[in-house]
Structure 1
């Protein structure tokens, strides 16, 4: 065979191989498109599917097959790689169904459309109590929560230059997916605090000669002292007036916070036992918050009512009697506490 004939045959062979390759690519593309857009069972029912933290694509693809949601794990993995989402699947619980196509399932997992669980934190609870509530809701063990919330380096990373995050875990209703870690829960709560504590409030604190930490501390005392909305600014005024006059705050909730394993019964001995949080033995504010104050308590701490009140006593109906002097206060104590 001459050189010219060999060259012609070579060209023909190359063209045929190219055509075969193109045909193969087309066939593969059609198969992949068919797989990606065909549900496993058009009559299938919804079910819960969980992607655990740290679980890789291969394990997820096999779980989908085992639970009857998608077939051929290798094809599902390949689909994810073609979509460039093989490393973008989010952990959490999902509602999936066999009547969804593999591509639809993949999109749900990538977009993180998880089932959300509610966590409600009431005003006036402590960091320890919040850890227990988070653990009860399934967001990690209490110990892990408390370790993270008591880490000053982590607190600083969230904009709180304090030893712990007591007082900064803002009370609200939150929604998290099942896999949310204590770190995620804590971060969300502190971010919520920063959203509520507006820049103008920081300016107001400076105007009052207080740091933000002192405002949060005062607000936590107000939160614990009264549950009556209209009384918050009055309680705040009592504390502001006492601070200005150098009078000890004498707040029972601060004493209780400083007692380890408090049994619910505050005694004279408790009031006389020095702790950093005992405002009967120490002047001024305690070293930090004693609970998580809500927005209204924070506002009251910053904008107290203009009064001359220096005392208040519980009346037994949820409210308090306020007094400007010790004589009237003692009379109120006899009336409402001693019932004389």
Structure 2
């Protein structure tokens, strides 16, 4: 056979083989390989997952695992598994799926109005990988609390309700340290100066703000309510804040899920450091997580002479204020009669 012709035949055969291989590779790597019906889904790969773990995680989403494995192994994914949250879109190819598994998607971590540290860690752990027990341990680490001026009673004051960006697989200590940093950023020079003018620490401001927050949901009324409590503190009066009694009731029972609409007379006698009907000054720490408007309401409290207030029966959600006990008794009697008509037992 003519050598030139032989070379031509061999070249054609090589080209055909290369084309065939290319077609196979294309079909395995670049054709659709998803089986979920949603437009997009998120998959979560826990820390320390192996390649075999990932394949099990991907089974509900990948149509042909052989195609996925073919691409993953040739792209070196099996030896470099990344933990985190990953986005898959409908119709993705195996090549795109592997690429997506290398791009960790940030989580928008949000929390507010948590009644206790236990509730807070439950809320956070529902959004990131670290569990509530681990988060509790790092948040209440004695060294960390001592270095940042907290204790187990008041560490809830550190958490500023907001939305934060983390990776799903963030380490517990990294998450904690970032939230502590955000706390220090929140308590800037201006807020610290206002707290100092009140002769209060940031933690004490947060503790009072939690009471104000629980007393009224009306942002425009909070500075006025804060002014009442500040007047009571200045006059060495008991705060007599119903939300602190409700907290004491819940703490004693260990049930923070119960909704208490009415404080009973016997509740006022509960022997608890949180009961401001029998203990002067602020409770040991926040009875809830105050939002920013409540903190700023304390720092910018309205200056007035009121030392009493009671829920209004005419402006629901708001309160009526009084400067004397006699005035307050008239208002309180009207409210008590209204409550009795509603039939509230608790």
Q: Do the aligned partners of 2:232 and 2:238 also contact (CA within 8 Å) in 1?
A: yes
1:117-144 superposed Cα distances (whole Å, 9 cap, x missing partner): x665343633233334345557565444
Are positions 1:162 and 2:151 aligned together? yes
Task: Describe the superposition over 1:40-80 as per-residue Cα deviations: whole angstroms up to 9, x where unpaired.
Answer: 13233476544222114675489778374351554222x78
Secondary structure in structure 1 of the residue aligned to 2:245: helix
- Checking the alignment, whether the CA contact within 8 Å between 2:130 and 2:171 is kept in structure 1 is yes
| Equivalent in 47, 52, 61 of residue 53 of structure 1 | 47
Shift of 1:236: 0.5
Hey, what does 1:276 align to over in structure 2? 273
2:70 maps to which residue?
A: 71
Equivalence for 1:13: none
Q: How many Å separate the matches in 2 of 1:59 and 1:292? A: 39
8 A contact 2:71–2:98 mirrored in 1: no
Q: 1:241 to 1:97 in 2, by over 3 A?
A: same
Change in CA separation of 1:267 and 1:233 when aligned onto 2, cut-off 3 Å: same
Q: What secondary structure sits across from 1:167 in the alignment?
A: helix
Q: For 1:310 and 1:179, locate their aligned partners in 2 and report how far apart those are by CA, in whole Å.
A: 49
Residue equivalent to 2:296: 299
Deviation, 1:194, is 3.7
For 1:318 and 1:177, locate their aligned partners in 2 and report how far apart those are by CA, in whole Å: 39
**C-alpha separation in 2, matches of 1:182 and 1:36:** 42
Question: Equivalent residue for 2:193?
Answer: 203
The Cα RMSD (Å) is 3.8
Q: Structure 2 length as normaliser, TM-score? A: 0.71
| Structure 1: tracts of 5 or more residues without a match | 1-33
CA–CA separation in structure 1 for the residues paired with 2:44 and 2:141? 31
- SS of corresponding position for 2:209: helix
Contact 1:222 1:236 in 2 (8 A): yes
Displacement of 1:180: 5.6
Alpha-carbon spacing, 1:197–1:100, altered in 2? closer, same or farther (3 Å):
farther
Partner of 2:216: 226
Give the CA deviation at 1:162. 2.4
- Closer, same or farther in 2 for the Cα pair 1:37/1:282, shift >3 Å? farther
Q: Which residue of 2 aligns with 1:91?
A: 84
Query: 1:122–1:172: 8 Å Cα contact kept in structure 2?
Result: yes
Aligned-partner SS, 2:159: coil
Q: Give the C-alpha shift of residue 337 in structure 1.
A: 2.2
Q: TM-score scaled by structure 1?
A: 0.72
1:129 maps to: 119
Q: Is the partner of 2:310 in helix, strand or coil?
A: strand
Query: What's the offset of the Cα at 1:269?
Result: 2.0
Compared CA separation, residues 291 and 241, structure 1 to 2 (3 A) = same
Compare 222-231 and 185-194 and name the one that shifted more.
185-194
Contact 1:61 1:73 (C-alpha < 8 Å) held by counterparts: no
1:222/1:96 CA distance change after superposition, 3 Å:
same
Contact 1:38 1:101 in 2 (8 A): no
Q: How many Å apart are 1:293 and its aligned residue?
A: 0.7
Contact between 2:310 and 2:321, CA under 8 Å: does it hold in 1? yes
* Larger Rg computed on CA atoms: 1
Q: 1:175 to 1:68 in 2, by over 3 A?
A: farther
Map 1:96-115 to 2 at 5 A.
99-100=92-93, 102=95, 105=97, 107-113=99-105
Task: Give the drift of 1:190.
Answer: 4.6
Q: Confirm or deny: 8 A CA contact 1:39 1:98 kept in the other structure.
A: no
Counterpart residue number, 1:237: 227
When residues 279 and 289 of structure 1 are mapped into structure 2, their CA distance, relative to the original with a 3 A threshold, is same
**Cα displacement string for residues 291-331 of structure 1 (whole angstroms, at most 9, x for unaligned residues):** 11111101011111010110000114111001111111111
The CA distance in 2 between the partners of 1:37 and 1:153, in whole Å, is 56
> Residue in 1 aligned with 2:330?
331
Shift of residue 101, structure 1, vs aligned partner: 6.6
